[in-house]
Amino acid sequence: MALIHTGGTLGMRRGPRGFAPAPGHLAALLARMPELDDPGLPSFELVEFEPLLDSADMEPKDWERIARAVHQRYEAFDGFVVLHGTDTMAYTAAALSFLLDGLARPVVLTGAQIPLAEARTDARENLVTSLLLAARDDLAEVCLYLNGVILRGNRSTKVSASGFDAFTSPNEPPLGTAGVTLELRREGLRPPQAGPLTVTPLAEVPVAALRLFPGVRSDLLRTLLAAPVAGLVLETYGSGNAPQRDETLFEVLGNATARGTVVVNCTQCLRGRVDMGGYVGGDRLREAGVISGSDMTAEAALTKLIWLLSLELDGAEVKRRMQLDLRGELTA
């Protein structure tokens, strides 16, 4: 296995201003874990990024860097564990699912809410189970593991800042659970993709996200879209609705989509999907050229949009592919 350490709480060290990444610290901690010598665990090689990043500092270029770290070692290793901070782990997991085209081996993202060096850490179990998952030959996609639950990476979202059960998959059942035994939901697993593995270079595409709120005005949206924004994830109410009191809001959106900006409608609700034909507010978004994000998480929609815009497709093709299930990220 390749154990790719990008940073995050799991390998952090306590300092005068709180926990922070520390080069070499994780390697020293792993050397003191006797369970890693168990013959039932796969052997692994630690790959430590320089610099190590708090996940709040992650950017699209870092998603591509992780994808390339997998690609460079793809023929030498049977599986990959990516150690990552939990704050933006759902974004990275979704991004990797799109970037790693032709993936036929497991890529498991994991982390911890308490560092490995602390007494009450959740890192040990997360790390050990992730190594076991990465060694499986029946798992061939990007997934996320924490606290006994195996999730599809591009279906996950962080729901707790303080609990060990930090992630959930609101619109897709877990891929499996880790109790006394590791149980995978076989009917839900994606088949290996046809190779060879390739990584899409991500372009510096200007994208934005906006969560609607009571009292939102078209001036705010106009300012946001005034710059050359290529894509926007619009988090709307309920089943995909927007307020109608400010008529100019739909005009601003219509002008943006006419210029080629791809606007994707995602619901603010944790569960459920967008249906722009259910209410007038949703139908008017559709008339303005906004497309449905179905039941994608906001993280999946944003990373998918950046990925598609990096492929140099025309606007119509980007919109078409945004609404297709490409990596298990949405329910068709």
Active site residues: 9
Amino acid 80 reads F
Name the burial class of residue 276, with classes exposed (0-12), middle (13-18) and buried (19+) by CB atoms within 10 angstroms of its CB.
buried
**Where are the CATH 3.40.50.1170 domain residues in the chain?**
2-199
In a structure prediction context, what are the per-residue pLDDT tens digits for the chain, which is 332 residues long?
999 999 999 999 998 888 999 999 999 999 999 999 999 999 999 999 999 999 999 999 999 999 999 999 999 999 999 999 999 999 999 999 999 999 999 999 999 999 999 999 999 999 999 999 999 999 999 999 999 999 999 999 999 999 999 999 999 999 999 999 999 999 999 999 998 999 989 999 999 999 999 999 999 999 999 878 999 999 999 999 999 999 999 999 999 999 999 999 999 999 999 999 989 999 999 999 999 999 999 999 999 999 999 998 999 999 999 999 999 999 98
**What is the pTM for the complete model shown?**
0.97
Q: Which helix (H) or strand (E) holds 30?
A: helix 25-30
207-322 — its CATH code? 3.40.50.40
Supply the pLDDT for residue 190.
96
Amino acid 324 reads L
Supply the pLDDT for residue 175.
98
DSSP strand E in 138-202: where?
A: 142-146, 149-152, 157-158, 167-168, 176-178, 182-184, 198-199
Supply the pLDDT for residue 139.
97
Supply the pLDDT for residue 226.
87
In 3-state terms, what secondary structure has residue 4? strand
d(CA 219, CA 201): 34
Name the burial class of residue 167, with classes exposed (0-12), middle (13-18) and buried (19+) by CB atoms within 10 angstroms of its CB.
buried
Supply the pLDDT for residue 102.
98
Amino acid 7 reads G
Q: Under a CB-based contact definition with an 8 Å cutoff, are residues 313 and 205 in contact?
A: no
d(CA 150, CA 128): 13
CA-wise closest residue to 266 among 244, 234, 238: 234
- Structure token pair of residue 180: 């006394």
Amino acid 330 reads L
Q: Which helix (H) or strand (E) holds 218?
A: helix 218-226
DSSP strand E in the chain: where?
A: 2-7, 13-15, 18-20, 45-53, 80-83, 100-101, 107-110, 142-146, 149-152, 157-158, 167-168, 176-178, 182-184, 198-199, 207-211, 231-236, 262-267, 291-292
Task: For 37-89, give the secondary structure using H, E and C.
Answer: HCCCCCCCEEEEEEEEECHHHCCHHHHHHHHHHHHHCCCCCCCEEEECCCCCH
Q: Under a CB-based contact definition with an 8 Å cutoff, are residues 195 and 99 in contact?
A: no
- Structure token pair of residue 2: 């390749």
- The residue behind tokens 């998952």 is 133
d(CA 268, CA 163): 22
| CATH topology for the 2-199 domain | Rossmann fold (3.40.50)
Supply the pLDDT for residue 195.
81
CA–CA distances in Å: residue 216 to residues 32, 213, 219, 233? 54, 6, 9, 16
* Centroid of chain to Cα 89: 6
**Where are the CATH 3.40.50.40 domain residues in the chain?**
207-322
- Structure token pair of residue 14: 């306590």
